[in-house]
Amino acid sequence: MSHVTLLTGPERRRCWSEGDQGRILAAAFAPGSTVAAVARQYDVATSLVFKWRRTMRARETGFAEVVVVPDEPVAVSRPAAPAAVIELEIAGKARLRIPLTTPPTLAAAMVKALGVS
């Protein structure tokens, strides 16, 4: 026969203060301790301890949580992006612009024709 436990009463969700979180984090990541043992001791989920650690690190490094939202359609037409090029200026005498779609052998021949070694 199986055993069923029915929990009644107020919700178990708790609000941990930053001080409590800090103490639990210090204990969980102290040398020689394990997160699981500390989580059992304070009756908190291990995943919550790791979440607190992520949040604390983000605050310490100055990074903010990022929320990515889809772009809204833009009504204004944008000019075409300029083609990517490699630009070489040779001792102020010559300037060579090579599009990125140029085969390497042709680019090398163009540079060689200018007398650059």
For residue range 75-111, what is the model confidence (pLDDT) as tens digits? 656 566 667 788 877 776 777 788 888 888 888 887 7
When comparing pLDDT for 26 and 71, which is higher? 26
pTM of the full predicted structure?
0.44
Tell me, yes or no, whether 33 lies in a domain. yes
Count each helix (H run) and each strand (E run) in the chain, helices first: 4, 2
Give, in order, the Cα–Cα distances in Å from 94 to each of 89, 100, 111.
Answer: 6, 19, 11
Residue 64: which region, alpha, beta or left (left: phi > 0; alpha: psi -120 to 50)? beta
What is the residue range of 101's domain? 84-117
Residue 55 falls within a domain, yes or no?
A: yes
In a domain, 99, yes or no: yes
Number of domains in the chain: 2
Q: Quickly tell me which residue has 């070489």 as its tokens.
A: 88
Domain membership flag for residue 10: no
